[in-house]
Amino acid sequence: LSVKASSYADELVKTAKSIASPGRGILAMDESNATCGKRLDSIGLENTEANRQAYRTLLVSAPGLGQYVSGAILFEETLYQSTSDGKKMVDVLVEQNIMPGIKVDKGLVPLAGSNNESWCQGLDGLATRSAAYYQQGARFAKWRTVVSIPNGPSALAVKEAAWGLARYASISQDNGLVPIVEPEILLDGEHGIDRTFEVANKVWAEVFYYLTENNVMFEGILLKPSMVTPGAECRDRASPQQVAGYTLRLLRQRIPPAVPGIMFLSGGQSEVEATLNLNAMNQAPNPWHVSFSYARALQNTCLKTWGGRPENVQAAQETLLLRAKSNSLAQLGKYTE
Ligand code: 13P
């Protein structure tokens, strides 16, 4: 552990534990301006700062959200932004007992020398940015890199993904931010669930190898894995019990119990599917807090219900709360359809 990270060690452990508290998970609302533009376009809205602000205001101020949500991941714009009625977004979250987090990666670009795969940028200047984000109220960070099964994955792409995550995690801890470690294994492809398991096993082995090499403190990180499912175009579908069985087997083989929280991404699953899969994973006690860090599976219906109309804000917030409450119950293994 580096000297500076050790000065934050107690705080990192506390932050991670509070995010991984029973019955709560993370609202991922950190879409980049480009991705947020696509979401707004789907409801016929222009991608302006005012529209992004109106939508994010709706999300952070949903009454009672903090009962089900312990952390919210923000894009940089939102971390420094005020709500439409002039309060700091960060302050609204803290009042709701929700910890603000920040997406710190700079996105994916082609990985030269690979099989059309990508790597994740953002290490240059990351220490300086992380210190500024902490000052601004962020207490955890997210770095999302991806691994593609149909395109390989090549040994080069897996190593690059794992190394980048480990450098980012170390720099985050050095600056007081709990790193969410997210190697997303993309759903795209015709492969079956066994192939996903095999790739995920290799990816997590390398991620933990490099986390250790970089002296990252496991008690002060959170993971954001993909669930182990068949490829999106695979004809054999898997039940929530099968997804839970494969995913938990993977976690038990690869993830030390010192890691406080496993916060799954939804990765294009439907809202109900994501809830059912999480619920199935929580039918028996786990060594870690197994929960959610969903974007689409919390927001899809909410966004559609809003449709950009002020008169629909309350109804939209109610749909967000319904998804958040359902996933909260699923975290406790108590969700019923
Ligand atoms: P989805 O839940 O929509 O996959 O998004 C989560 C996320 O933050 C991906 O990085």
| 235 has a pLDDT exceeding 90 | yes
Cβ within 8 Å of residue 221, ≥6 positions away: 16, 169, 173, 178, 179, 180, 181, 211, 259
β-strand partners of 108: 120
Query: Active-site residue 182, yes or no?
Result: yes
| Residues within a 6 A CB radius of ligand 1 | 28, 144, 182, 265-267, 294-297
Q: How far apart are the first and last CA of the chain?
A: 45
3-state secondary structure of 205: helix
pTM summary value: 0.97
Q: Which of 31, 160, 182, 271 is catalytic?
A: 182
DSSP assignments along 235-258, one per residue: SS---HHHHHHHHHHHHHHH--TT
Residue among 160, 104, 155 nearest 133 (CA): 104
Closest CA to 324 of 145, 140, 133, 66: 66
> Using CA atoms, how far apart are residues 27 and 321, in angstroms rounded to an integer?
11
- Give residue 272's pLDDT: 97
Whole-number Å distance, alpha carbon 302 to ligand 1 midpoint, is 15
Q: How confident is the model at residue 152 (pLDDT cuts 50, 70, 90)?
A: confident
14 is catalytic: no
State the closest ligand 1 atom to the C-alpha of 73, by its place in the atom list counted from 1: 8
In tens, the pLDDT along 301-326 reads: 999 999 999 999 999 999 999 999 99
Q: How many CA atoms lie within 13 A of 109 on its CB side?
A: 5
R_g over Cα of the chain: 19
Q: Any residues with CB less than 8 A from the CB of 48 and at least 6 apart, and which?
A: none
- The single residue of 103, 117, 142, 224 carrying the catalytic annotation is 224
At 70, the amino acid letter reads S
pLDDT digits (tens, 9 = 90+) for 283-293: 999 999 999 99
Backbone phi, psi, residue 288, to 5°: -120, 165
Distance (Å) from CA 321 to ligand 1 centroid: 18
Ligand 1 atom with the smallest distance to the CA of 266 is 2
